[in-house]
Amino acid sequence: MMPVLNFGIHHQVFIPAVPPDWPGGFWWHWLFFTVVIIAFVLTMVMGAIYIERRGMGRMQSRLGPNRTGPFGLLQPVADAIKVLLKENIVPVKADKLVHWLAPVVAFAPALMLFAVIPFQDGALLADLNIGILYIVAISSVSTVGIFMAGWASSNKYSLLGAMRNVAAIVSYEMPLVLAIVGVVLIAGSLSLNRIVIAQDIPFILLQPLGFFLFFAAGCAEINRSPFDLMEADSEIVAGFHTEYSGMKFAMFYLVEYAEAIAIAAIITTLFLGGWRGPLLPPWLWFVTKVMAVFFTMVWTRTTLPRIRIDQLMALAWKFLLPLAVINLIITAIQVLASWPDTLPWTLVMIIVNFTILAVLVLLWSKFFFRLGWGRIEV
Amino acid sequence: MALKTEPFVLNMGPVHPSTHGVFRMRTTLDGEVVVDIEPIFGYLHRGVEKLAEQRTYTGIIPLTDRLDYISSMNNNLAYCLAVEKLAGIKVPERAEYLRVIMAELQRIAAFLIAVGAFLNDCGAFFTPFMYMFREREKIVDLLEMVSGQRLTYNYIRVGGVSQDIPEEFLPALRTFVAQMPGFIDEYDRLLMQNEILLARAKGVGILTREQAINCAASGPVLRASGVKWDIRQADPYSIYDRFEFDIPTGTVGDCYDRYRVRVAEMRQSLRIIQQAMTQLPPGPVKAAVPHLIRPPVGEAYAHLEAPKGELGFYLVSDNSIAPYRCHIRPPSLINLTALRDMVRGWKVADLIVIFGSIDITVGEIDR
């Protein structure tokens, strides 16, 4: 075991999981993982773009891009080259500095999220013992960048999109965090690596409602369909990035997919057992699960229409939030009751939890809250 | 502390993903809420009515193709009906049946685009649109078989149709008519009962029965408001009195009703095609019409049920080879007049959905 990195205070910031036994210790670890994360995110984004474009093509009874390289595998590269060669246009009345800064502000947090996500046991940049809090805090920083973009473009579509984005983030943070708390209660740790280690069975089985809530709120947080009304192309053209072109647009494009991958990675880590799995190497399990979650997002995008801004708000406050609170209470009772850790008991718990999910979702979607009911003035 | 907001003006279009062409809406918004809109058009004005005054009666048919370019057959037919009324030309039996088959095929194609684009406006990311284009492609193939064109057919002529159908047409049509009901069921399964679609379309943009009648709306927009008015039955032209079909109507007059009426119309059109196909008689397909038609001095108005509503042509003849005046009654333009009443008080997102549910083609509005 390497000595614990201790900033001279009583509190341990980094928990050494599988220690990096390289010369240089911490700094080599830091450098290595920074490079790995950037390479990983960019590769995954390319994979995600490929999956999205091809998968969407298949679902829409067309072929999708298949001319660049074998099976169109080089399509993301072609996209990237195209977008890099485009002219960079800044509106005359734009706030130049903010307009320039916005993509950077939006992009940095998307990368930073990956710092605490374990790719396999201990393979992560910083095993913060407050990993989840870090994720919750960082994931909302992108909003600042998006609002900067919307404000600086001096375009009304951009501003509408940015306002919608802020409204959505403010509302959806709440169910998102409450959904996580259930997992934390069961795992007994805020460290993502510990949470994965605690998952002898994936938490989706013990926390189906939490998974459902987190997935919905996560989709809303990163503007994936059916909550993509911040960049609703049929309404407000492209939302906050209407006035962006060239590399700056590429950055936003990257943010969009990097955040989708990040949410997929967090879902994988919290609910799907992270890197754990039989036979295959852990990192491969991790990548497979992330891509499976991302594929579900592509699936919903091709299937569902978009909801309206007031319906989005109502969904957050009247549907997701009450369910998140109920989920938290039920989980707390279950944890306190501390059922025997044997297979039959676990099976019973799984069945009970899924029944609770079905009953609650049915109750809310059929009786307490209907999407079309009433209008709230924004 | 009371926060003060003030409305701002947003120009939607003429270049916007959801304005279905070069159409502009000068919207006044209070945050997300639509306070007022002013439709502005004229970006696609080609002066079709004036051009028509300098062309022969036959030469105008290609112009009509370019009015509502996604239902060219119906435009051809409406114009030819007007000329035939003016010149008193009798159309052979077989040609009448072929006209009905083509017009109804074109109706289905136009409704497929209307419904697909509407669902796209609701935010379904191109999937329903692509599904519907898959079947529209089959219709376009059929129409290409008879006319050689895929968009502007120029098939229906004064006194009949331009040429008889090729022998492979009827088997292909039979296959299509047999398959299509299954595909329509598939569209229904796609999104009909979807909670989000219901929330977005039900009760949104209600056009009451009175409003619809007062603004002279026609077609699915009128029928969705509960008015049972279809020119094919109210004032039968061609041979529509020989076919049996229902007129689907809505009850509330909201976007959802307009969408449902269009889907139901597809089924009725299939029924008509089925009947016309079995009754199709042999014989000539074109009456002996002189190349340069000189109708007697007079005027004539002929109208028909186009996919968008009542399409009318008003022709005045001064016994020359070109009409003295040609006026077109475009259903899109008249239906559009109801837009302002429908959208006020709704949100920007609803504006797009309501606008999509009216189903306009700018080529027809601007003429």
* C-alpha–C-alpha distance, residues A90 and B265, integer Å: 48
What are the beta bridge partners of residue A116? none
In angstroms, what is the C-alpha Rg of chain B? 21
* C-alpha–C-alpha distance, residues B213 and B236, integer Å: 20
A229 touching B (Cβ < 8 Å): yes
* C-alpha–C-alpha distance, residues A275 and A118, integer Å: 8
CA-CA-CA-CA torsion for B352, B353, B357, B362, nearest 10 degrees?
A: 20
Question: How confident is residue B314, by pLDDT bands cut at 50, 70 and 90?
Answer: very high
Residue found by looking up tokens 């309206």 in the block: A308
Q: Which residues contact A179 (CB under 8 A, 6 or more apart)?
A: A210, A211, A213, A214, A217, A324, A327
Nearest-5° Cα angle at A104, A100 to A107: 145
Q: Which residues contact A280 (CB under 8 A, 6 or more apart)?
A: A288
What SS3 state is found at A221? Answer: helix
Sheet holding B33-40, edge to edge: B8-12, B24-30, B33-40
Question: How confident is residue A8, by pLDDT bands cut at 50, 70 and 90?
Answer: very low
For residue B207, the distance in angstroms to the closest alpha carbon of chain A comes to: 18
From the list B35, B41, B46, the residue with the least C-alpha distance to B19 is: B41
Q: In this model, does residue A376 exceed pLDDT 80?
A: no
The pLDDT tens digits of the residues spanning A230-244 come to 776 667 777 788 888
Write out the residues of chain B at the interface with chain A, using a CB-CB cutoff of 8 A: 8, 10, 16-18, 31-33, 119-127, 130-131, 134, 191, 194-200, 202-203, 347-350, 352
| A89-93, A130-134, A344-348, B93-97, range with the lowest pLDDT | A344-348
DSSP state of A229: T
**ipTM score over 0.90, yes or no:** no
Q: What is the pLDDT of residue A371?
A: 62
Question: How confident is residue A339, by pLDDT bands cut at 50, 70 and 90?
Answer: low
The pLDDT tens digits of the residues spanning A299-331 come to 888 888 888 888 888 888 888 888 889 888 888
Q: What are the residue boundaries of the structural domains of chain A, listed by start?
A: 84-371
Q: What is the pLDDT of residue A2?
A: 38
The pLDDT tens digits of the residues spanning A192-201 come to 888 888 787 7
The pLDDT tens digits of the residues spanning B69-95 come to 888 999 999 999 999 888 888 888 889
Other Cβ atoms within 10 Å of B189 Cβ, number: 10
Q: Tell me which chain A residues have a C-beta less than 8 angstroms from the C-beta of B195.
A: 365, 371-372
For residue A62, the distance in angstroms to the closest alpha carbon of chain B comes to: 8
Nearest-5° Cα angle at A311, A307 to A317: 130
Distances A285 to A143, A183, B236 between C-alpha atoms, Å: 31, 20, 67
Chain A interface, best mutation among B194, B196, B353, B355, by max A CB count within 10 A: B196
Q: Do A232 and B199 touch (CB under 8 A)?
A: no
Residue found by looking up tokens 């940095």 in the block: A108
Is-contact A156 A243, C-beta < 8 A?
no
Q: What is the mean pLDDT of the segment spanning A248-253?
A: 86
Q: What is the pLDDT of residue A281?
A: 80
Q: Do A233 and B134 touch (CB under 8 A)?
A: no
Which of B131, B191, B349 lies closest to A309 in CB terms? B349
Q: Which two tokens mark A328?
A: 């938290």
* C-alpha–C-alpha distance, residues A221 and A140, integer Å: 8
Q: Do A302 and B125 touch (CB under 8 A)?
A: yes
pLDDT > 90 in chain A, percent: 1
* C-alpha–C-alpha distance, residues B288 and A87, integer Å: 61
Q: Which two tokens mark A32?
A: 């290595």
Q: What does pTM read for this prediction?
A: 0.84
Q: Do B348 and A235 touch (CB under 8 A)?
A: yes
Q: What is the mean pLDDT of the segment spanning B158-172?
A: 88
HEC sequence for B7-18: CEEEEECCCCCC
For residue A182, the distance in angstroms to the closest alpha carbon of chain B comes to: 28
Question: How confident is residue A1, by pLDDT bands cut at 50, 70 and 90?
Answer: very low
A303 touching B (Cβ < 8 Å): yes
Q: Where does chain B show beta strands of DSSP type E?
A: 8-12, 24-30, 33-40, 156-157, 160-161, 298-306, 309-317, 325-329
| A75-89, A121-135, B54-68, B256-270, range with the lowest pLDDT | A121-135
Which of B119, B120, B347 lies closest to A308 in CB terms? B347
CA-CA-CA-CA torsion for B253, B257, B263, B267, nearest 10 degrees?
A: -70
For residue A160, the distance in angstroms to the closest alpha carbon of chain B comes to: 8
Is-contact B227 B213, C-beta < 8 A?
yes
Provide the mean pLDDT of chain B. Answer: 87
Q: What is the mean pLDDT of the segment spanning B295-304?
A: 89
> What is the phi-psi region of residue A273: left when phi exceeds 0, alpha when psi lies from -120 to 50, beta otherwise?
left
Q: What is the pLDDT of residue A372?
A: 55
Q: Tell me which chain B residues have a C-beta less than 8 angstroms from the C-beta of A309.
A: 32, 347, 349
Q: What sign has the CA pseudo-torsion A324, A325, A331, A332?
A: positive
Is-contact B117 B359, C-beta < 8 A?
yes
What are the beta bridge partners of residue B161? B156
